Amino acid sequence: MAGLICCLLCTPVRISSFFESHSAIFPFETHRQNLENVLKIEPRTVAPGSAGFRFCGEHAWLNAFLFPISAERFIIDLVRLRPGIDARVMRPGDVFEIRRPIVRHLTHASNIAATEDDDTQRIEFDPTASIPDLSDPNPERDSVAKLAGVTEQFIIEGLGGFALKAEESLDPIIGLYRNHRVRYAIGLVFPDSTTRWYRFDFSERSTDLTVGTKMPGPVDMVHRIAASALARWIERRKVSSMCALTRAGSARCMHYLAKASRSASSRLHSPAF
């Protein structure tokens, strides 16, 4: 295939797992695979692309965690592996003119696009950056009383009822939680900055549910979520943004049991509940 591809446009990886784990580990293996693919194709010219977007406003803090490989970083590593390869950073408004076998990179040559401000530093990868406290923006301005009523009924009667009934019917997921004596807590963050906790304890013979304004005892798994986001899920209301629920920080999880069980005799295979 060497030389058959004149110009290869490729897109470095972004970290989607950050939304679930809040872990911003550099994706070494994916980066290695992407570099290896370019070397196998052997294009005459390669131009790493971009995700094509960034978060702004109250969600701007996510930019430091989600775009670990810049175009410049990709080119530096690619040239280390294949010195002499023609690799270019392409900005909006640039054009590649291809006249086999020659590829010319013409900057600012497009008549339909232009770079007004090169602000790619806003998405520079920084896994040491701070994460703001979870808050509830409450975009639909629901009252705290309404949010509390909707969410508590769902958690106590819906989720709690499921846990008890599933326990009686030998539901396999609940069975795993009981076998590993999981203590699972849900923290609802309200617009007035208060938090209400619901703790399911599967370590006893019967499932125990404790409710309070403070974390009611030790836990193995925690899910914190904005009350208005959960209410919109429950009521199936239209979401104004794809990022309004969990993807931009309206929910956070801690899964201690994904690696090791409290049971010394076996391991937990990270069931979803």
Tokens coding 37? 């693919």
Residue 127: how many CA atoms within 13 Å on its side-chain side? 12
Mean pLDDT of 127-139: 85
Q: Same domain for 172 and 114?
A: no
Residue 112 domain boundaries: 7-123
Q: Same domain for 106 and 40?
A: yes
145 pLDDT exceeds 70? Answer: yes
Q: Same domain for 96 and 177?
A: no
71-81 vs 28-41: helix crossing angle, rounded to 10 = 60
CA 69/CA 99 separation, integer angstroms: 30
Residue 125, sorted as left (phi over 0), alpha (psi -120 to 50) or beta, turns out to be: beta
Q: Domain for residue 185, yes or no? A: yes
Q: Same domain for 201 and 238?
A: yes
Q: Same domain for 105 and 173?
A: no
CATH number, domain with residue 253: 3.30.1050.10
Report pLDDT for 27: 81
Q: Same domain for 164 and 207?
A: yes
CB 190 within 8 A of CB 231: no
Mean pLDDT of 239-243: 43
Q: Same domain for 103 and 152?
A: no
Q: Same domain for 163 and 214?
A: yes
Sign of the dihedral defined by the CA atoms of residues 69, 73, 75, 76, in that order:
negative
Band of pLDDT at residue 130, cut at 50, 70 and 90: confident
Q: Same domain for 50 and 95?
A: yes
Q: Domain for residue 267, yes or no? A: no
Q: Domain for residue 172, yes or no? A: yes
Q: Domain for residue 264, yes or no? A: no
Strands 251-255 and 221-226: antiparallel
The domain tally of the chain equals 2
Report pLDDT for 23: 65
Report pLDDT for 209: 85
Q: Cα–Cα distances in Å, from 148 out to 135, 151, 214?
A: 15, 5, 16
- CA-based nearest residue to 140, from 58, 61, 227: 227
- 3-class SS string, the chain: CCCCCCEEEECCCCCCCHHHHCCCCCCHHHHHHHHHHHHHHCCCEEEECCCCCCCCHHHHHHHHHHCCCCHHHHHHHHHHHCCCCEECCCCCCCEEEEECCEEEEECCCCCCCCCCCCCHHHHCCCCCCCCCCCCCCCCCCCCHHHHHHHHHHHHHHHHHHHHHHHHHCCCHHHHHHHHCCCEEEEEEECCCCCEEEEEEECCCCCCEEEEECCCCCCCCEEEEEEHHHHHHHHHCCCCCCCCCCHHHHHEEEEEHHHCCCCCCCCCCCCCCC
Highest-confidence segment of 66-75, 78-87, 175-184, 228-237: 78-87
49 pLDDT exceeds 90? Answer: no
Report pLDDT for 242: 37
Q: Name residues whose C-beta falls within 8 Å of residue 208's C-beta, 6 or more positions apart in sequence.
A: 200, 201
Q: Same domain for 150 and 253?
A: yes
Band of pLDDT at residue 257, cut at 50, 70 and 90: very low
More confident residue, 12 or 69: 69
- State the pTM of this model: 0.64
Q: Same domain for 72 and 106?
A: yes
CA 84/CA 97 separation, integer angstroms: 20
Band of pLDDT at residue 30, cut at 50, 70 and 90: confident
What letter represents residue 54's amino acid?
R
Q: Choose one of 60, 90, 123: the last residue of a domain.
A: 123
Q: Give the percent of the chain with pLDDT over 90.
A: 15
Q: Domain for residue 59, yes or no? A: yes
Q: Same domain for 40 and 11?
A: yes
Q: Domain for residue 136, yes or no? A: no
